[in-house]
Amino acid sequence: MKIGKSILFSLFTLLMTATLCAGSNSSLIEKANKGDAQAQFELGVLYVTDENVNKDDPLVAEGVEWLRKAAEQGHAKAQYNLSQCYRFGIAEKGDFDEAGKWMQKAAEQGFAEAQFDLGQRGFDERGSRTPEGVEWFRKAAENGHAGAQFALGQCYEYSIGGVVEKNIAEALEWYRKAAEQGYAEAQFDFGQRYAEGRGVEQDFEKAEEWYRKAAEQGHAFAQYQLDMCYLKGKGVKQDDAKAIEWFLKATKMNHVRAQYRLAVCYLKGIGVEQNDAEALKWFNKANHNNLGAVGYGSKDINMETFAKSFRERVEQGSVYSQYSLGWFYAKGLGVKQDDAEAVKWWLKAAEQGYAEAQYQLGVCYAEGKGIKQSDAEALEWFRKAVEQNDLEKRISWSRITMEDPEIVKKKFDDLRLWVLLKE
């Protein structure tokens, strides 16, 4: 196992707070051996964070010991980082008591990251925020820690655990401090407040301004709200192309609503060329990610609207939409599950030569789903699908339906074999 910065230091600012001495490592070692706490700290960081060093490498243990030497001299950053070594099992086998001890020492010296960590751990056995936890947030916030400022704002807004009295004005003050430091969650929060007029006077231009600040830092929810600003022309000039640009950024973060909205844009040709295949692809991604999406339930995916839109496309003669509507009925998405209706729409598409519909229709006949079981009819429709040599299309289809390409290939190979054996 490698010890990477992603394990310890992407969360804890070790390398950001350690300015390595100019000159060679030998010079650093010499200073450390003479008892220079800063050099001991820097040397410890250098050894422990080496991406090319395994966890059990003696050099790591040496790095931990240098951090310990600096920590014992009262070096706050070393104390904090030593606590992380114990917390994550880098120091020996891990020891939460030791981790807590060194964390406390760093926090008592005013090291904001340690104070914030103690604040995050400040819960009682019932899961309620403790007065001590809030006070550590306050200390870190007063030391300029943006995350703590935002957390303290939440304590005031929601009177978490009843530790502090609800005070919206105080909450907004701390939120603003965090936002002005570039804390994306606070910036997004201000965007929401200005858009809704919650605690502040409603102002869509200011909402867009804060959404953009957070969105440019990769905040998916802010990216989604920003694209909705462009889509609806709120706070900015209406611009479908710009909306699509931000939708795409949010979809890369698996934002369910953005994926759904992008599907609608492709379905209706809003800001992009109309494309049923792309519409269904993004709808499937939204549906696939829905259960795991933080903060969004199934109510956010308007399947009824989507299915209705596909029916409108069917009435315009879209073969692909005929197949898709059958798929909605087969899965019960936006409509009542109905195998017979699925067969009805797949038959329409199959009769026009759509291979995927031919394949699905063959499955229905083979299994007797939505139609009377018939090996002869199944064979006929499977043969039509096979005759189109549709492997490449089916592999491409797997990217839309989110099936594993290898599974798709096996299904198609099995289909060929099934046809050969039946003939």
Q: Specify whether the CB–CB gap between 195 and 204 falls below 8 A.
A: yes
Q: How much is the pLDDT for 397?
A: 45
By CB atoms closer than 10 A (0-12, 13-18, 19+), residue 292 is exposed
Among residues 367, 361, 398, the alpha carbon closest in space to that of 383 is found at 361
**Spatial distance between the Cα atoms of 176 and 190, rounded to a whole number of angstroms:** 8
Count of other CB atoms within 10 angstroms of residue 46: 19
Element (H, E) at 165: none
Question: What six digits make up the tokens of 110?
Answer: 């005013």
Q: What is the mean pLDDT of residues 163-175?
A: 91
Dihedral angle over CA of 360, 363, 368, 371, nearest 10: 30
Q: How much is the pLDDT for 278?
A: 84
Count of other CB atoms within 10 angstroms of residue 337: 12
Percent of residues, the chain, with pLDDT higher than 70:
76
Alpha-carbon distances, residue 326 vs 92, 131, 250, 315 (angstroms): 59, 58, 29, 14
Q: Specify whether the CB–CB gap between 220 and 255 falls below 8 A.
A: yes
HSE, side-chain direction, 13 A CA sphere, residue 247: 25
**Spatial distance between the Cα atoms of 344 and 395, rounded to a whole number of angstroms:** 25
pLDDT band at 18 (very low <50, low <70, confident <90, very high): very low
Question: What six digits make up the tokens of 405?
Answer: 């390409």
Torsion over CA: 394, 395, 397, 401 (sign): positive
Q: Where are the alpha helices (DSSP H) in 181-293?
A: 184-196, 204-215, 220-232, 240-251, 256-268, 276-289
Q: What is the mean pLDDT of residues 109-116?
A: 94
User: 196-251, pLDDT tens digit by residue?
Assistant: 999 999 999 999 999 999 999 999 999 999 999 998 999 999 999 999 999 999 98
Question: At residue 410, what are phi and psi to the nearest 5 degrees?
Answer: -65, -40
Q: How far separated are the first and last CA of the chain, in Å rounded? A: 55
Question: What is the C-alpha R_g of the chain?
Answer: 29
**Spatial distance between the Cα atoms of 415 and 362, rounded to a whole number of angstroms:** 10
SS3 54: strand
Most confident region among 207-221, 269-283, 309-323, 354-368 by mean pLDDT: 207-221
Among residues 334, 333, 361, 332, the alpha carbon closest in space to that of 345 is found at 361
Most confident region among 3-17, 119-133, 348-362, 404-418 by mean pLDDT: 348-362
Looking at the DSSP assignment, which residues form a beta bridge with residue 2? 54
Q: How much is the pLDDT for 110?
A: 94
pTM, full prediction: 0.66
User: 120-134, pLDDT tens digit by residue?
Assistant: 887 655 666 788 889
DSSP state of 324: H
pLDDT band at 316 (very low <50, low <70, confident <90, very high): low
Dihedral angle over CA of 234, 260, 338, 350, nearest 10: 110
Q: At what angle do helices 220-232 and 184-196 cross, to 10 degrees?
A: 30
Q: Which residues contact 297 (CB under 8 A, 6 or more apart)?
A: 290
Q: Which residue has the tokens 């699509």?
A: 244
* The Cα angle at residue 386 between residues 380 and 389, in degrees rounded to 5: 155
Q: Specify whether the CB–CB gap between 95 and 131 falls below 8 A.
A: no
Mean pLDDT of the chain: 80
Q: How much is the pLDDT for 404?
A: 54
Q: Which residues contact 119 (CB under 8 A, 6 or more apart)?
A: 133, 134, 135, 136, 137, 140, 148, 151
Q: At what angle do helices 112-120 and 96-108 cross, to 10 degrees?
A: 130
Among residues 53, 76, 62, 55, the alpha carbon closest in space to that of 32 is found at 62
**Spatial distance between the Cα atoms of 294 and 255, rounded to a whole number of angstroms:** 9
Alpha-carbon distances, residue 304 vs 290, 307, 308 (angstroms): 16, 5, 6
